Chains A and B, each alone.
Chain A
Amino acid sequence: QSVLTQPPSVSGAPGQTVTISCTGSSSNIGADYDVNWYQQRPGTAPKVLLYANNNRPSGVPDRFSGSKSGTSASLAITGLQAEDEADYYCQSYDRSLSGSVFGGGTKLTVL
């Protein structure tokens, strides 16, 4: 049972937009800690996709964007491409645990 809750799977056709939600609590997202998003392709390590809620590292397309409100956050992917098929994880800081917490991950399937 992950501290942050994500849908197990989402899907969309090429060119469409999908969103992935991440729900936390008052001790993490709701406590105004940043949400980061990671992309993990099969057999590889996670890679930071968005940091501090909606900031893209160099090389990440602007098709990826994030938002945060209250105790939740979301990742939006516009103009879906086949290469976006991967697992996506949200992550934040939890003041009760005094450390990182992750979502359970969402598998994105591009139809």
Chain B
Amino acid sequence: QLQLQESGPGLVKPSETLSLTCTVSGASINNAHYYWGWVRQPPGKGLEWIGTVYYTGNTYYNPSLKSRVTISVDASKKQFSLKLTSVTAADTAVYYCARHTKSRGGYTWGHWGQGTLVTVSS
């Protein structure tokens, strides 16, 4: 049974770097059918796609965040990670890691982690 678990600091200071890791259990990151991504949700607001990584290391980023985001994968550790630089209060959100498929029809986010709240504050 696939499980995804986010981990990382819950509090980050403004202008610093937010770093989160997602650990995958119950499935292989190397499965060619799936992609691994991050989605965030500011308190009381909607969902925003941050970016996606494939097991080969190929990455796809939301253009609005692309200059500040790096997503990487370490298949040997069954983990993928998110780094978001120069954070501000606007980056305060629940961050979800999730697995999605990619087809001609688009992305389907089938499995999600429980989410982790990251607050940006001094």
Contact = CB atoms under 8 A, between A and B. Distances in A.
Nearest to B51: A99
A39 B63 CA distance: 26
Interface in B97-119: 98, 100, 103, 105-110, 112-115
A103 to B, nearest CB: 7
Contact of B106 (A2, A57, A100): A100
Contact residues on B (Cβ < 8 Å of other chain), bracket: 20 to 34
Interface residues of A, number: 26
A97 B63 contact: yes
A93 B105 contact: yes
Interface stretch (A9-17, A40-48, A59-67, A76-84): A40-48
Interface string A86-102: 00010111000111111
A100 B46 contact: no
A92 B47 contact: no
A104 to B, nearest CB: 4
Contact of B49 (A33, A47, A57, A100): A100
B109 A48 contact: yes
A52 B108 contact: yes
Contacts, number: 72
B52 interface: yes
A74 interface: no
Contact of A93 (B63, B107, B112): B107
B105 A102 contact: no
B52 A51 contact: no
A102 B49 contact: yes
7 contacts: A2-B46, A34-B103, A34-B105, A45-B96, A46-B112, A89-B46, A102-B49
Interface of A: 2, 33-34, 36, 38, 44-48, 51-52, 57, 89, 91-93, 97-105
Given A33-B106, A48-B110, 4 more contacts: A36-B108, A91-B107, A100-B39, A100-B107
